[in-house]
Amino acid sequence: MNDLSKVGITGFGGYVPRLRLSRKAIAQANSWFNPGIAGQAKGERSMANWDEDSITMSVEAARDCMVGQDPNAIDGIFAASTSFPFQDRQNAGIIATALSLDEMIHSADITSCQKAGLTALLNGVQAVGSGAQSNALVVAGEKRKTRAGAPQDMKFGDGAAAVSVGSENVIAKFLGSASLTIDFVDHFRGEGEDFDYNWEERWIRDEGLTKIMPRAVKAALEKAGVEGADIDHFVMPCGFKGIPQKIARAANIDPENVRDTLGDVCGDTGAAHPLVMLVHALEHAKPGEKIVIAAFGQGAEAIVLETTADLPKLGARRGIIGSLANRREETNYMKWLAFNGLVEMEKGMRAEKDNKTALSVTYRRRDMLFGLVGGKCSKCGTQQFPRTRICVNPNCHATDTQEPHSFANQSAKILSWSADHLTYSMDPPQHFGMVTFEDGGRFMADFTDVEQGTIDSGMDVRMVFRIKDFDTKRGFRKYFWKAVPVQPKQQAAE
């Protein structure tokens, strides 16, 4: 029988892409066709770069969550999304490899539902409580496609969040949960379809949310032995104004304690949003406060947590607050369409190449490609990327002395750089250059999230896991690590 009395959240992290698409720009581009869209032109939505997807954003959120934690201690990973790039390849396995987690690890993809992120958290709690895992990592990321000018174009956002679950140094202990499985279809996306088909909003609100959600919340409170009046934070993603407050009242929770859905500054990040909002709540919570997280989707999921005295002891991290602060406004709606494959761009002859991936090489060098693992000479200490049989130090040249050494989290600087307007790039010009690591080692890297004209030699960079290229002929994505220039104001904030 599960012992959940000591289980809870031990860490958290978040990631919201730097680009923020102005809703005013969306309205200006589409009001000729749908004049009513102008009424929604307030705030902004998060916008993933062309080389970001649910996997890369999940990796970033997980790296943030794992600050100060031993990666080798994690023995389970649960990844949630409704926009995973692979239907028959485990996406959680890619995330685990990018994080350099031990290969003796349990992993699972949880998908096909908007409450998948919260379901993944519950799976992590139950896995640790049963003794199947000691420390579980729960990640959720979302990058959903919408038709141009659709209401979802305004409402959706891209982002990710992660929490670690264990029984030691718990910052928010698990008190109870409830699950409902009801095939109430508010929207769906069939096989081979890129976009959701959405049903009538009043039906969703009146027959779905307001009748199903209170049942889950009340049941979770009852199982946790907690009164609604004792809840300090009510977390519930919802695109209908006033509905979270209505559901809170039904459970005797003070409507004043309903958390901001972050709709104006981020948008709804789908299956990731329950965890995105949870991380945001934990960033504001104090020890001894009780939190309810509820999510809707073919039923409902609700979890009750209580923060502990260890919450303030958690080390500094970017989180959702830091991600939201690190923003750059984007007003070019055409760029949004291009980045999401909603318009066919002329790529030119230089883009005419076969991007077939050698899967055998990808497997043999998976630690290098996905984990940015190079080598460190056991004889002279020289670090190098990639790892080779012979040490690159001219004063050493020892053979077979290279031990695996990760560069993913090392500080680095730009030694040299170029901006190439001839090479095809989804976001021209193509920036690349030589990167040198603080503790030694260098390699030629692509730069991403670059604001043209702001890059220079000597700038600090951080390494990020991104899409390297697309093999559209076979539906495959290549991943590798790129360098992101750290702007002075961003560095000061961190």
Can 8-339 and 349-372+407-493 be said to share one CATH topology? no
454 burial type by CB count under 10 A (0-12 exposed, 13-18 middle, 19+ buried): exposed
Q: 413-468 pLDDT, tens per residue?
A: 999 999 998 888 899 999 999 999 998 999 999 999 999 889 999 999 999 999 99
Residue 128 CA to residue 451 CA, distance in Å, equals: 43
The whole-number pLDDT of residue 492 equals 45
Find all residues with CB under 8 Å of 305, minimum gap 6, and list them: 8, 9, 172, 173, 174, 175, 290, 291, 292, 293
Q: Which of 380, 417, 409, 414 is nearest to 395 (CA)?
A: 380
The whole-number pLDDT of residue 251 equals 97
Q: The domain 8-339: what is its CATH number?
A: 3.40.47.10
Q: 137-172 pLDDT, tens per residue?
A: 999 999 999 999 888 999 999 999 999 999 999 999
One-letter amino acid of 403? E
Q: What is the pTM assigned to this prediction?
A: 0.96
Do the bridges between strand 19-22 and strand 76-80 make them parallel or antiparallel, or are there none, so unpaired? unpaired
The whole-number pLDDT of residue 490 equals 53
Low-confidence residues in the chain, pLDDT < 70: 1, 488-494
The whole-number pLDDT of residue 489 equals 57
Give the 3-state secondary structure of residue 327.
Answer: coil
- Is the distance from CB of 26 to CB of 436 less than 8 angstroms? no
The whole-number pLDDT of residue 188 equals 95
Helix extents (H) in 189-239 = 201-203, 210-224
Topology given in CATH for the domain delimited by 349-372+407-493: OB fold (Dihydrolipoamide Acetyltransferase, E2P) (2.40.50)
The whole-number pLDDT of residue 488 equals 65
Domain boundaries, the chain: 8-339, 349-372+407-493
Q: Which residue has the tokens 């003796």?
A: 104
